[in-house]
Structure 1
Amino acid sequence: MFKSLKSLIISICVLLLASCSNTNKAPVIMFSEDSTAIVIKNIDATSLYELKKDNKDHPHMQNIISVVLMPIETDSLQDEKLISGRTIIQDNFVVFKPELPFNKNETYLVESYIGSKFADKSKLFKGTVKYNLEPQKQLLKR
């Protein structure tokens, strides 16, 4: 009886450890090859499904990605400027195309909630769960 119970517990632990592998990678935010757009790649299937569903239900929803032109460090009078554009959801990535082209030698802050989660298993066990959802941030320089 105890041998079968012991083997059952061991097999359950092995299955749990095998299913908890951290193969999910964070989405990658980068400029397109010609630097005319911003591309978010490596989006997990669940997030991509939700994006496509939300885009179909609310086609006017364009705030998936926010892009901000960062001021030059030496210029204290310039403010951050929100870049307007449209978001296109393609096969397995999202593309942000600005209304005006990106300027050379400028730095852009890209924020996206794609693939963001409140907590994962490791944060729950460590006790480092935060109470708000944090966007993925990436500084891009053209």
Structure 2
Amino acid sequence: MKKSIFIIILLIAVGCKRKDTPPAIQISLVDSNKHLKVSGLDYAIMQDINRDTTTNVWQNLIQIYRMPADTDMKDFQPIQPGKYAVKDSAVVFIPDTPFNPHQTYFMRYYQYDKGSTAWDYIKNHQKPGKKQYQDLIFK
């Protein structure tokens, strides 16, 4: 009897766990389609990352690529070179070469906070060391 009550209470506690929703990341081309604006990141975290003196700190979190003709080759594309700047509550990517209006690009946003627990590895059939990311496509 005591075991069944304990199991029921444990199931209720686990079932009522709050799920954290990831930030809603929005991207848009600004300044006559010359720059990419990334908004929706947490302002405090963004300012903390901006104070980091590590080179290419933003490139480790947000990466811009050209979309290949064969989309199965997305993982093998070189990173689009450019500079990152924090303006107001958004990150602005300024590419070294202008965006081609007839070319499709995508932004890979790595979610370092996801997939870090043992349960995530089991549930998502994920391998250790592989980080989750989200691809956002733009033209």
Provide the identity percentage.
20
Partner residue of 2:99? 102
1:53 aligned to 2:48? yes
Partner residue of 2:25? 28
Q: Give the 3 Å change call, closer, same or farther, for CA 119–140 of structure 1 in structure 2.
A: same
The alpha carbon displacement at 1:115 in A equals 5.9
TM-score by length of 1: 0.59
Higher alpha-carbon deviation: 124-133 or 93-102? 124-133
Looking at structure 1, the residues matched to 84 and 112 of structure 2 have their Cα atoms a distance apart, in angstroms, of 16
Query: What is the aligned counterpart of 1:67 among 64, 67, 88?
Result: 64
TM-score by length of 2: 0.60
User: Aligned ranges for residues 1-142 of structure 1 at < 5 Å?
Assistant: 20-21=18-19, 24-33=21-30, 34-44=32-42, 48-49=44-45, 51-58=46-53, 60-61=55-56, 62-64=58-60, 65-72=62-69, 80=77, 82-113=79-110, 116-119=113-116, 123=120, 126=123, 128-131=125-128, 132-141=130-139
Secondary structure in 2 matching 1:32: strand
Structure 2 unaligned runs (5+)?
A: 71-75
Looking at structure 2, the residues matched to 81 and 137 of structure 1 have their Cα atoms a distance apart, in angstroms, of 15
Secondary structure in 1 matching 2:47: helix
Looking at structure 1, the residues matched to 95 and 13 of structure 2 have their Cα atoms a distance apart, in angstroms, of 46
Looking at structure 1, the residues matched to 92 and 34 of structure 2 have their Cα atoms a distance apart, in angstroms, of 10
After superposition, the C-alpha distances for 1:28-80 in whole angstroms (9 at most, x for unaligned) are 242234422222222246xx52x43343231532524222223446xxxxx95
Letter in 2 for 1:101: P
Contact 1:43–1:114 (8 Å) recurs in 2 = no
Larger-gyration structure (1/2)? 1
